[in-house]
Amino acid sequence: MSASLRIAVLPGDGIGPEIVAATLSVLESLNGKFALGLRFEEHAIGHASLERKGTTLPDAVLEACRASDGIVLGPVSHLEYPPRAQGGINPSGELRIRLDLYANIRPSRSRGGLAHWGRTPMDLVIVRENTEGFYADRNMHQGVGEFMPTPDLALSVRKISAQASRRIAQAAFEMARARRRKVTAVHKLNVLKVTEGLFLREVRDVARQFPDVALDEQLVDSMAAMLVRDAARYDVIVTTNMYGDILSDEAAELSGSLGLAASINAGDGHCMAQAQHGSAPDIAGMDRANPASLVLSAGMLLGWLGRRHRRDAFAVAERAIEAAVDALLRDPATRTPDLGGALGTRAWTRALLEKLNHS
């Protein structure tokens, strides 16, 4: 009998508790159906934790995540948090750094019955470096990467390392080898010649280890245009942190909706499922949130766990989630309000569970 796997569940802020509850019910259903051996442990973070513990990410929760086999993270309202010195830690960024979740993997594909907004359908994955770049909380050993020498001058430091560039390239090429065998490296070499040059040097070096995978390169500004014009030409896109963040939101919306955008943050030893969208506090508690992004992200987490532990049932469960969500999206009557339907969060979740139970 396979050993059980611990999943840390962090509800977060805004709509987080609602869509995490929906996602957890899906995982519990699949856990029983496919005998996955998952054990769920819920921990408070964000505003709920700040009120009780004085911090948005207690050390005990971080250690529970470190000891877990997988993490499900709800959206967080980190822009509303107090300064870090007053307990306002961004759980998403902190977990990525502390657990070395260096690969943010964000697939976007057009879905049957749902309009896409680009000129061609898409089925691509953006593999985004997750631990450095222009992100001020991710690129300094001490302090942050933004500072103001005078009230009228603000500076930002960008960190690009060979190690991080190489390992994100490795992740992208390995993924492409299992897909359509094409990687596109997105950059801005014509302006940022040193940092982008280092990134591309490492990507090109990794490419030589994968002679069966084609590599091309694209400037980030023209890439934004090409996603609209001809997204069908792309397979796996690898890029640095900020470019990947922006392009993946664009791709998700073009493919149908940001509300369907799945995402995992993966490293060599840990993986965290996280919806690509934010906490939407304006609709929190109104039973209007679409859980699909986090549900699909949890499916990706199952796929990662299956590959890591060589357990085929996890891949079957991931495919079951994808098929059930696709089935609901094909029918306007089984969509949430953001996609033109009328089902609330709980009703949509019940419909999804029914599909899974009869699959």
User: Among this protein's residues, is 135 annotated catalytic?
Assistant: yes
H, E, C per residue of the chain? CCCCEEEEEECCCCCHHHHHHHHHHHHHHHHHHHCCCEEEEECCCHHHHHHHHCCCCCHHHHHHHHHCCEEEECCCCHHHCCCHHHCCCCHHHHHHHHCCCCEEEEEEECCCCCCCCCCCCCEEEEEEECCCECCCCCCCCCCCCEEEEECCEEEECCECCHHHHHHHHHHHHHHHHCCCCEEEEEECCCCCHHHHHHHHHHHHHHHCCCCCCEEEEEEHHHHHHHHHHHHHHCCEEEECHHHHHHHHHHHHHHHCCHHHCCCEEECCCCEEEECCCCCCHHHCCCCCCCCHHHHHHHHHHHHHHHHHHCCHHHHHHHHHHHHHHHHHHHCHHHCCHHHCCCCCHHHHHHHHHHHHHCC
User: Among this protein's residues, is 221 annotated catalytic?
Assistant: yes
Catalytic residue among 13, 69, 235, 245: 245
Catalytic residue among 102, 135, 234, 243: 135
User: Among this protein's residues, is 59 annotated catalytic?
Assistant: no
Catalytic residue among 137, 249, 326, 338: 249
Catalytic residue among 188, 287, 326, 338: 188
Q: Which residues are catalytic?
A: 135, 188, 221, 245, 249
